[in-house]
Amino acid sequence: MNKDMNQMDLENSEHLDQMVTEALMRDRLVSPDADLEWKKLSARMSVGKDSAASPSDVKHIPSSALRLVWTIVGTVAAMALIVVVLNLKGFDADGSSVYQAKATPAEIVILDEQDNQHVVKGNDLSLAPASKAVVHTVVVPEGKDMKLTLSDGTEAWLNANSRLAYPTVFNGRQRKVELQGEAYFKVAHDSRHPFIVYAGGMQTRVLGTEFNVDASDAKRPHVTLVRGSVKVSKANINKVIVPGEDAAFDAGGSIKVSRVDLNDVACWKDGIEMFDNASLRDIVMHMGSWYNVNVICHDDALLDMHLRYMYDRRQGIEEAVMMLNTITNNKIKLQNNSILIE
């Protein structure tokens, strides 16, 4: 009887974990903070509030349909932090550690100026100039990436866990966007209208060039230049970098410029994930997040192993796990849609 009760407790705990994580994922996609950020950017860019037509290849979801969801999410989110912290590590039937890498897959969405959500079909979207400028925000969740072509022809590749706020048409003296997360920009040249990326308190100013901005850690944003030239600014620090250089700010606001291998900088936009001296814990959790599978470990000490590893995340998980298994001396396998470490 005790065994049955323990199994029931395990199933209830797993069900609760799934409910909480799903609620948190929805909260990340349509968080009220995103709307607040949009309003701040909108005020800064002095654009109007008239709505532009929705992109032709997105599906509209009225905001009224989300109100009940917000009520539920608001209630669950208050307890979610406690539950997630306490249940980060659980145990399966044979006592091995279980890491739940990701919740139910989420969609790429666009948040418009009227607080409506638009689900993007596919991961390549081109925007035609609108008649009036309003600010929209594209949100890319875990396990996805996308290419967005802005109304001026600028191409932006957004990595997973990223969002970009942009005007539906650039009609001022400057072309301004705001980034959270990571994006690679190929900016359409316009000498009269500089392109500025705001990210992590940092400004990257260009006329027409290619560069990568990583503000995944907002306190330590950095910019890597591939072609052309950019001016990087934060507080009272200004620095112009040349191709092959990376300008990184630390938490104290100091800047460090270093040479980097451009082949490693933005390979993510082509589906290649690279890890240099990363822990096995970070690698498998990243894989679990991208492929939406759980990670089960029978020997926690193995998670501290450090590796140099790369895989094509647009290929199947089987190939990625097979390569990782080879370099870890047969410690990794895929079973029942879970990554096993033993």
Give Dmax (Cα) for the chain.
76
Q: Residue 28: pLDDT band by 50, 70, 90 thresholds?
A: very low
Same domain, 109 and 146: yes
Query: Rounded CA gap, 315 and 321, in Å?
Result: 11
Residue 96 in domain: no
Which tens digits make up the pLDDT trace of 98-154?
A: 457 555 678 999 999 988 999 999 999 999 989 889 999 999 998 899 999 999 999
Same domain, 240 and 201: yes
Same domain, 299 and 283: yes
Same domain, 112 and 179: yes
Domain range for 275: 271-341
Which tens digits make up the pLDDT trace of 173-224?
A: 999 999 999 999 999 999 999 999 999 999 999 988 999 999 999 889 999 9
Residue 71 in domain: yes
Query: Rounded CA gap, 225 and 293, in Å?
Result: 35
Cβ within 8 Å of residue 143, ≥6 positions away: 102, 105, 106, 160, 289, 290, 291, 292
Residue 311 in domain: yes
Q: What is the pTM of this model?
A: 0.69
Residue 14 in domain: yes
Same domain, 124 and 208: yes
- Which structure tokens are listed for 9? 């407790």
> Helix 2-29 vs helix 67-86: angle between axes, to the nearest 10 degrees?
130
Whether 155 contacts 94, CB under 8 Å:
no
Same domain, 27 and 77: yes
Q: Given 241, 265, 289, which residue is the final one in a domain?
A: 265
Provide, for the chain, the percentages of residues in helix, strand and coil under a 3-state DSSP scheme, each rounded to the nearest 5.
Answer: 30, 35, 35
- Which structure tokens are listed for 333? 């396998």
User: Quick one: which H or E segment has residue 8?
Assistant: helix 2-29
- Which structure tokens are listed for 150? 């802005």
Residue 243 in domain: yes
Q: Residue 70: pLDDT band by 50, 70, 90 thresholds?
A: very low
Residue 199 in domain: yes
The domain spanning residue 25 has which CATH number?
2.60.120.1440
Q: Residue 13: pLDDT band by 50, 70, 90 thresholds?
A: very low
Residue 149 in domain: yes
Whether 341 has a pLDDT exceeding 50, the answer reads yes
Higher per-residue confidence, 88 vs 229: 229
The domain spanning residue 327 has which CATH number?
3.55.50.30
Which tens digits make up the pLDDT trace of 285-339?
A: 888 888 888 889 888 888 899 999 999 998 899 999 999 999 999 899 999 889 9
Number of domains in the chain: 2
Residue 227 in domain: yes
Q: What is the DSSP letter of 47?
A: -
Whether 145 contacts 159, CB under 8 Å:
yes
Same domain, 248 and 299: no
Q: Given 265, 281, 301, which residue is the final one in a domain?
A: 265
Q: Given 231, 265, 299, which residue is the final one in a domain?
A: 265
